[in-house]
Amino acid sequence: MTRFALTLEFDGGPFMGLQRQAHGPSIQQAVEEAAGAVTGERITLHSAGRTDAGVHALAMRSHLETAKSIAPFRLMEAINAHLRPAPVAVLACEEKPDNWHARFSCIGRAYEYRIANRRAPLTLERGRAWQVARPLDADAMHRAAQALVGRHDFTTFRSAHCQANDPVKTLDRLSVRREGDVVAIEAEARSFLHHQVRSMVGCLALVGLGRWREEQVGEALAARDRQALGLNAPPEGLYFVRALYPDDPG
pLDDT, one tens digit per residue, over 152-174 is 999 999 987 777 888 999 999 99
Distance CA 143, CA 229 (A): 18
For the cut 90, the answer to whether the pLDDT of residue 217 exceeds it is yes
Q: Which amino acid is at 198?
A: R
Give 52-110 pLDDT, tens digit per residue: 999 999 999 999 999 999 999 999 999 999 999 999 999 999 999 999 999 999 999 99
For the cut 90, the answer to whether the pLDDT of residue 196 exceeds it is yes
For the cut 80, the answer to whether the pLDDT of residue 249 exceeds it is no
pLDDT at residue 172 in the model: 98
Q: How confident is the model at residue 242 (pLDDT cuts 50, 70, 90)?
A: very high
Q: Please give the model's pTM, rounded to 2 decimal places.
A: 0.95
What is the arithmetic mean of pLDDT over 211-234? 96
Q: What is the CB-side half-sphere exposure of residue 177 using CA atoms within 13 A?
A: 7
What is the arithmetic mean of pLDDT over 19-41? 94
Q: Determine the topology of domain 2-96 in CATH.
A: Alpha-Beta Plaits (3.30.70)
Domain boundaries for CATH 3.30.70.580 within the chain: 2-96
Domain boundaries for CATH 3.30.70.660 within the chain: 108-244
Q: How confident is the model at residue 9 (pLDDT cuts 50, 70, 90)?
A: very high
Q: How confident is the model at residue 23 (pLDDT cuts 50, 70, 90)?
A: confident
Please state, in angstroms and as integers, the Cα–Cα distance from residue 207 to each residue in 140, 166, 203, 250, following that order.
7, 28, 7, 36
Q: Taking the CA atoms of 244, 112, 19 and 86 in sequence, report the sign of the dihedral they define.
A: negative
pLDDT at residue 12 in the model: 96
- As a whole number, the mean pLDDT across the chain is 96
pLDDT at residue 250 in the model: 61
Strand partners, 17: 52
What is the arithmetic mean of pLDDT over 202-220? 97
* Cis-peptide into 85, omega within 30 deg: yes
Domain 108-244 has CATH 3.30.70.660: yes
Q: Which residues are catalytic?
A: 52
